[in-house]
Structure 1
Amino acid sequence: MAEVARLGFSAAPAVRWLAEEARLKFVADPFGLWRDGRLYLFVEAYDYRSRHGIIEVIELDGAFSPVRRSVVLREPWHLSYPHVFEADGQVWMLPEAHRSGALTLYRAAAFPNVWEPVARLKLDTPAIDATPFRHGGLWWLAYSPTGPQRWKQGRLHLAFAERLSGPWRLHPGNPVRNNLASSRPGGTVWIEDAMPVLPVQDCTLTYGGAIRQLKFLRLDPDRFEAEASAPLAPPSDVGRYAMGLHTLSAAGSVTLFDVKRIDRSLWPSRREAASCAS
Structure 2
Amino acid sequence: MALRKDIWRPAIVMATAEAIVARGSIEGFPLMWLPPMGSFQFLADPFGLWRDGRLYVFVETYDYRVRIGAIEVLVYDADFRLVDRQPVLNEPWHLSYPLVFEAEGETWMLPEAHRSNRLTLYRAVDFPARWEPAHVIELDHVAVDATPVFHDGRWWLFYTSADREPDKMSALHVAYADRLAGPWTPHPMNPVRVDVASARPGGMPLVIDGRIVLPVQDCSRTYGGAIRPLTMTVLTTERFEAEVGDAMVPPASSAPFVEGFHTLSAAGPVTLVDMKRTELSLHGLSIEAIREIKKLPPRRRASVRG
Task: Classify the TM-score, shorter chain.
Answer: over 0.9
Match of 1:170 in 2: 186
Match of 2:299 in 1: none
Match of 2:160 in 1: 144
State how 1:1-278 maps to structure 2 within 5 Å. Answer: 1-11=4-14, 13-265=29-281, 267-268=283-284
Taking the aligned partners of 1:126 and 1:31, their CA distance within structure 2 comes to 22
Taking the aligned partners of 2:188 and 2:52, their CA distance within structure 1 comes to 43
- Which amino acid in 2 is paired with 1:175? P
Taking the aligned partners of 1:20 and 1:210, their CA distance within structure 2 comes to 21
Taking the aligned partners of 2:74 and 2:177, their CA distance within structure 1 comes to 32
- Which amino acid in 1 is paired with 2:6? E
Taking the aligned partners of 2:40 and 2:278, their CA distance within structure 1 comes to 14
- Which amino acid in 1 is paired with 2:239? R
Instruction: Select the structure that is richer in helix.
Output: 2
| Aligned-pair CA distance for 1:4 | 2.1
Taking the aligned partners of 1:5 and 1:81, their CA distance within structure 2 comes to 13
| Aligned-pair CA distance for 1:18 | 2.9
Provide Cα deviations, 1:146-179, integer angstroms capped at 9, x if missing partner.
1222100011000000000000001000000001
Distance verdict in 2 for CA 1:231–1:266, change over 3 Å: farther
- Which amino acid in 2 is paired with 1:264? L
Contact 2:101–2:107 (8 Å) recurs in 1: yes
Instruction: Select the structure that is richer in strand.
Output: 1
| Aligned-pair CA distance for 1:74 | 0.6
Taking the aligned partners of 1:88 and 1:235, their CA distance within structure 2 comes to 38
Contact 2:60–2:97 (8 Å) recurs in 1: yes
Provide Cα deviations, 1:100-127, integer angstroms capped at 9, x if missing partner.
0100011111110011111000001121
TM-score scaled by length of structure 1: 0.93
Aligned length, in residue pairs: 269
| Aligned-pair CA distance for 1:265 | 2.7
TM-score scaled by length of structure 2: 0.85
- Where structure 1 has 5 or more consecutive residues not aligned to the other structure, the ranges are 270-278
| Aligned-pair CA distance for 1:267 | 4.2
Q: Alignment partner of 2:284: what SS?
A: coil
Taking the aligned partners of 2:34 and 2:235, their CA distance within structure 1 comes to 39
Q: Which has the higher contact order (CA 8 A, sep 6+)?
A: 1
Match of 1:273 in 2: none
Q: Alignment partner of 1:246: what SS?
A: strand
The percentage of aligned residue pairs carrying the same residue is 54
Taking the aligned partners of 1:263 and 1:224, their CA distance within structure 2 comes to 40
Taking the aligned partners of 1:229 and 1:132, their CA distance within structure 2 comes to 20
